[in-house]
Amino acid sequence: MQTKNRCAGSTATAVILALFLVLFTLITVYLFVSKTWWFPESITPIGHEIDAQTRRTLWLTGVVFVLSQLGLAWVVWRYRNRGGRARYSHGNNTLEILWTLATAVAFIGLGVLAQFTWAKIHLAEPATDTVVIEVLGEQFAWNFRYPGPDGKFGRTRTDLINSGAGNPFGIDRSDPAAADDIVVPILNVPVNRPIELRLRAKDVIHSFFVRELRLKQDAVPGLEIPLRFVAERTGDFELVCTELCGMGHQRMRAPFSVKTAAEYEQWLRDELALLQSNP
C-alpha cells in the first residue's frame, strides 16, 4: 500500500516537471519567433551582416535548445520512479566524443563566419572621402570635435583641457588649424558617407554604443581607437555609454543624428558661425 502511494506521488511530480519543461520551451521559442523584445532596425550594411550572424547563431542554438529541453522532458517522464531499483549507467564514450566534436565544429564554424564581418569593421582601409570626427568620453559626457572647413584637427595641449570652460579637448586656438575646430555635445553625421570616429577617453574606460549601428567599442585613456561605419538611413538615435564608468554613468548619453548631406553642411555652417561670433 505504502509503495503504491509513493509511485502515484512520483508520477504526478514527473508529469508536472515534464509539462513545465515543454511549456517553458514553447514560451521561449514563441518569444524569439514573434520577436516580442527585439533589436531596433539596423541602419548600416555591416549591421545587416551582424544581424544575419545573430540569426544563424539563434537558429543553431535554438534547435539544440528545443531538442535538449524536449529530450529532458521525455527522460523525466520515461524514467520516473515506478518503485523499482535504480540502475547505474557508465555513460557512452562514443556519444560523448560525438557531441563534443559537434559543439566544437558549430562554435568554431560560427566564429570563422563572424570574423569576415569583424575584419570589415576593424581592418578595412578608410575610404578617401571619409568624414573624421573625434569622440572624447569623460565622466559623464560625450564630446565631439569636427575639423571645420580646413579639414584639419588643430593642436591640442593637455594644460588647456577644461571641460567647465567648454574646452574638453584642450584645443589651442592660437594654432590656425585649430581656429575652426568645432566642439559639440551631439554627434551628427551625413547619410551614405564613410564615417571614422576616433574614440578617446579622458579619465576612465567608457564604451561607445549605438543600437542601430550595431557597434560597441571601448574608449580607453591613452589610446585612439578608430571606429568606421556608413549610415544608410537618416534619423535621430541615441548614443549611450555601456561601461559602468562611475556614479553618473546612467547620465552619459548623447543624441546621435544621421542627416542628409545638405542638412549636415548647413548644421556645420551654423556651428561655425556660432563659434566665430563667440570664439
CA distance 219 to 240: 12
Q: Is 221 helix (H, G, I), strand (E, B) or coil?
A: strand
Helix axes 93-122, 45-78, angle to 10 degrees: 160
Q: Is 18 helix (H, G, I), strand (E, B) or coil?
A: helix
Quick one: 1 or 247, whose CB is closer to Cu ion?
A: 247
Question: Binders of Cu ion among 245-264, rule CB under 5 A?
Answer: 245, 252
Cell readout for 162 is 577644461
Task: Tell me the window of 95-103, 224-232, 239-247, 270-278 that interacts with Cu ion (CB under 5 A).
Answer: 239-247
Task: Tell me the window of 29-37, 65-73, 79-87, 243-251 that interacts with Cu ion (CB under 5 A).
Answer: 243-251
Name the phi and psi angles at 22, rounded to 5.
-65, -45
Q: Smallest gap, in angstroms, from Cβ of residue 13 to Cu ion?
A: 49
Q: Smallest gap, in angstroms, from Cβ of residue 128 to Cu ion?
A: 33
Quick one: 151 or 248, whose CB is closer to Cu ion?
A: 248
Task: Tell me the window of 31-39, 124-132, 242-250, 259-267 that interacts with Cu ion (CB under 5 A).
Answer: 242-250
Q: Smallest gap, in angstroms, from Cβ of residue 241 to Cu ion?
A: 3
Q: Smallest gap, in angstroms, from Cβ of residue 145 to Cu ion?
A: 18
Cell readout for 7 is 509511485
Quick one: 134 or 271, whose CB is closer to Cu ion?
A: 134
Q: In sequence order, what are the beta bridge partners of 229?
A: 195
CA distance 154 to 39: 39
Residue count at the site for Cu ion (CB under 5 A)? Answer: 4
Of the candidate residues 241, 254, 258, 268, the single one contacting Cu ion (CB under 5 A): 241
Cβ neighbours of residue 271 under 8 Å, at least 6 residues apart? 146, 182, 184
CA distance 256 to 235: 9
Quick one: 231 or 245, whose CB is closer to Cu ion?
A: 245
Q: In what order do the strands lie in the sheet with 141-146?
A: 182-184, 141-146, 131-138, 194-201, 225-230
Residue 26 belongs to what H/E stretch?
helix 2-33
Of the candidate residues 145, 200, 202, 206, the single one contacting Cu ion (CB under 5 A): 206
Asked if residue 136 binds Cu ion (CB under 5 A), the reply is no
Q: Smallest gap, in angstroms, from Cβ of residue 37 to Cu ion?
A: 25
Q: Is 151 helix (H, G, I), strand (E, B) or coil?
A: coil
Cβ neighbours of residue 152 under 8 Å, at least 6 residues apart? 177
Quick one: 135 or 252, whose CB is closer to Cu ion?
A: 252
Q: Smallest gap, in angstroms, from Cβ of residue 205 to Cu ion?
A: 8
CA distance 36 to 59: 17
Q: Smallest gap, in angstroms, from Cβ of residue 199 to Cu ion?
A: 12
Quick one: 202 or 206, whose CB is closer to Cu ion?
A: 206
Q: Is 161 helix (H, G, I), strand (E, B) or coil?
A: coil
Q: Smallest gap, in angstroms, from Cβ of residue 185 to Cu ion?
A: 14
Quick one: 192 or 250, whose CB is closer to Cu ion?
A: 250
Task: Tell me the window of 14-22, 46-54, 223-231, 244-252 that interacts with Cu ion (CB under 5 A).
Answer: 244-252
Footprint of Cu ion (CB under 5 A): 206, 241, 245, 252
